[in-house]
Amino acid sequence: MNKQEAQLEISRLTKALNHHNYLYYVESNPEISDYEFDQMLKQLQDLEQQFPDLADDNSPTKRVGGDITKKFESVKHRFPMLSLSNSYSQEEVIDWVERIKKTIDSKLEFVCELKYDGVAIGIQYINGSFFRALTRGDGVSGEDITTNVKTIRSIPLTLHGDFPPDFEIRGEIFMPLASFQKLNAQREDIGEVTFANPRNTASGTLKLQDSKLVAERNLDSYLYAVYSEYRTVSTHMESIHNAGKWGFKVPKESERLIEKVDSIEGIMGFIQYWDEQRVHLPFEIDGVVIKVNSYEDQQKLGMTAKSPRWAIAYKFKTERVETILESVDFQVGRTGAITPVANLTPVQLGGTTVKRASLHNADQIEKLDLHLGDSVYVEKGGEIIPKIVGVNLEKRGEVDNKIVFLETCPACGTPLKREEGEAQHFCTNDLYCPPQVKGKIEHFIGRKAMNIDGLGAETVDLLYENELVRNAADLYELKFDDLLKLNRMAEKSANNILKGIEASKEVPFDKVLFAIGIRFVGETVAKKLARYFKTIDQLMEATFEELIQVEEIGDKIAQSIIDHFNRKENRAIIDRLKLHGVQFEMVQSVMESATLSGSTFVISGVFNAFSRDEIKTLIENNGGKIASSISSKTNFLVAGDNMGPAKLKKAEDLGVPILSEDELLLMLKQNA
């Protein structure tokens, strides 16, 4: 292919990829499979590598990230990026409307929108191409985070339609709840501190220096305000409609994410609706924004030094209760992380009884200046996790019961260590500290790891207290008579445990590697390591340079793996597990191919020939992806017995093909 032909092909692929990206991430209505999209993207990447001078700064290949930013430059906003004035009562909103009526004689229209709990962003487009993205900053200047924002797939890199030659669009970047929960589950798996809430996580993500990591976080956005010297419409609502036509993800009236009203009653109806319905949204909001619709009216109303007079934010009240801090427990996790937990006088909050609240770490305790017996204010952080947000100092007694973070492990007495840059303190006695030992064994036997039936946390406690196990390898040396001696252990239970341990010898290498519990090696990372190195011996001998060649393996994970296998005690456990027949090599599946590449499956119900986990592995081994819930992006629902009627109805409503277990196997055989 010569250069001219390459230029034409790059143009064709770019146009097609931008079109399909818009259909998938903005319209939720894909026309091609993920596999077809990825193949087109690979073709474009290959051409750009072959002809680097033809690669465009806004190429779809920029979506995957990879650029490293050492410093975010401060850039002055062309249009001041002011904050909105906030109100916390409907009376304040009514007063705001009445003040506007004193200035505007004509009939007023208002646009009601959601107040997304994310990060404000302003993006400039020149001749329909993404040019620059700035944070709010101080409202006068913001940080240039262009490279990171380009990885967000719901934000277009090039536009279509009749757009101004130079304009800025503003909106909010946020982390969907599903992405936040998935990220925290991954961090929990690898022994890292979980993030507090989606908003702070989104903000931190946008400041990451490695744009590839940003791309992996699955941030999303809504854009809803156009600023330009080339104004062709007279109202805010018209500009949003136009932005949607140009390719932006904008709030839709059909989903009631935005609504035009002409009365206080209309505004209050929108506020009341979302105060009740916000719990059903897949992202967080903290209120509603009301704007005067007419640009002419906005101009008449003008600005204050800090905010526009033509807009106001109504913030939902965060439910807060007051209760007594009775005591603080310091829990030791399987990685040695020490987590302080507050014990509270039980109180009703958000429909549930709250008795405990996380205090996160020593810094949080110090910041709150907590004392035993304090009357504390408790909220639900991110609508999910109870947290202490303050102290009622007026009720504090004179007795000094200040809570001081521990200096030694509460379980084994080992001095705690806090590494520079770490938020948490750790107990380093990982081989002998009882909660760590038991936690590692519980992790090893878990459903996503060795999946040993008959064993649970209570049984692990019994085994530990009776000095029968001190590490995972000890499980494979348990005898029937040993188990029968345990309190409340019957013959049937003992047999089930031994059968479960024996069956775990067939668990594949990637799950065994996850089960071992190397810090920072979660389920996904374990799978990539197992497929790359094939055997535990090759992995144990891998150098730092070899490890970081593996996809998703950074410096921290690589060093953690090396540190783990440098300890003779850990190698001794591996040797013992090998002797007992545990799988430490990748076994090529009889049915392993790329047959299902590009297809997303949801699995539901009970199956005959395979367990649900085996069905999942079968699909993944053949290139398919697993999703937990049905959406327009689902390609197939694999349905077993006793599947929930709601899931079945949703699949039928969306036209998702439904496969039985036999039909899935037939699909694999026919395409093998």
Question: Contact, 330 vs 340, CB < 8 A?
Answer: yes
Rounded distance, CA 342 to CA 260, Å? 46
3-state SS assignment for residue 238: helix
Token output for 651 = 């699949």
Question: Which segments within 117-231 are labelled E, that is strand?
Answer: 119-126, 129-135, 141-143, 166-174, 220-227
Report helix, strand or coil for 292: strand
Are 600 and 624 within 8 A, CB to CB? Answer: yes
Using an 8 Å Cβ cutoff, are 20 and 37 in contact? yes
Among residues 536, 502, 506, 507, the alpha carbon closest in space to that of 521 is found at 536
Cα(338)–Cα(113) distance, rounded to whole angstroms? 42
**Do 516 and 444 meet the contact criterion of CB atoms below 8 Å apart?**
yes
Task: Report d(CA 411, CA 405) in Å as an integer.
Answer: 14
CB count, 10 Å around CB of 235?
19
Which one of the listed residues 115, 291, 387, 527 is annotated catalytic?
115
User: Coil, strand, or helix at residue 386?
Assistant: strand
Q: Which of 23, 95, 9 is nearest to 54 (CA)?
A: 9
CB atoms inside a 10 Å sphere around CB 329: 12
Mutual angle of helices 434-445 and 509-516, in 10-degree steps? 160
Burial 6-27 (b: 16+ CB within 10 A, else e): eeebbeebbeebbebbbebbbe
Question: Do 521 and 530 form a contact (C-beta atoms < 8 A)?
Answer: no
**Pairing, β 320-332 against β 311-315:** unpaired
Q: CA-to-CA distance for 126 and 182, rounded, in angstroms?
A: 36
Distance CA 187, CA 205 (A): 14
Three-state DSSP class for residue 167: strand
Rounded Cα gap, residues 115 and 314, in angstroms: 8
User: What is the residue-wise DSSP string for 50-73?
Assistant: HSGGG--TT-GGGGG---B-S---
Residue 116 has phi, psi (to 5 degrees) of: -70, 135
42 is catalytic: no
For residue 87, what are the CA distances in angstroms to 285, 293, 514?
A: 15, 19, 49
CA distances from 589 to 149, 165, 413, 463, 592 (A): 40, 55, 47, 35, 5
Positions annotated as catalytic residues are 115
